[in-house]
Amino acid sequence: MPDRTLAETRFLRLLDRDGWTFVERPNSKGVVLIVPLTAERKLLFVEQFRAPLGRKAIEFPAGLIGDEPGHEREAPVASARRELVEETGYEARDLELVATTSTSPGMTNELVHFVLAWNLARVGKGGGVAGESIVVHEVPIGEARAWLAEREREGHVVAAKVYAGLYFANERWK
C-alpha cells in the first residue's frame, strides 16, 4: 500500500504508511548542525525562540540542507559553511563532517549531519536571515555544561543535539 499524505506544507509532510504516522521534509536533504570552536577555545551557541516549545532554545548553529533556490544540491559541509556565517557571523577555515544520524527515528525520516568547525574568523554580525532573531553566545568549552545548566534554570530548553555536539567537540578538542 502506498504512503498516504495526511497534510503538507512547504517544509513538512505528514504521512501514513501502513498505520504508522510520521513526518518527512519534502524540500530538504536533512539538517546540518555546526559545532564551532574559536581560537580562544570558546564554543558558539545560538539562542532563539522556538514556536513549538513556546520559549527560547539553546542550540548549536544549524539549518536545513538544500531548502533554498540555488542550494538544492548542496553538500552538508557547504551548507555548514553558509549557515555558520548566517547565524553567527563567523566563517570557518576548517570543517569536518563527523557523523550523520537520525533525529527521532519513530517520528521522522530527518537526518542530522554534525560538522565540526574551527579556525574561525568574524566576517559579519550574524543573527540569521529575515524572520530570525538569533543571539550568539561564546562559551569556554570547559564551562559549557555549567552554562547550559544555568540556561535551563532560566527556563530555556537545551536541544538534545547540543549534548551530542559537545561529545564530538570534546573528542576532537581534548
CA distance 152 to 169: 21
The CATH number assigned to the domain with range 29-172 reads 3.90.79.10
Domain boundaries, the chain: 29-172
The predicted pLDDT at position 31 comes to 95
The predicted pLDDT at position 6 comes to 96
Share of the chain above pLDDT 90, in %: 81
The predicted pLDDT at position 131 comes to 76
Average pLDDT over residues 139-166: 97
Counting Cβ atoms within 10 Å, is residue 109 exposed (0-12), middle (13-18) or buried (19+)? middle
pLDDT in tens, 56-93: 999 999 999 988 878 788 999 999 999 999 999 999 99
The predicted pLDDT at position 124 comes to 87
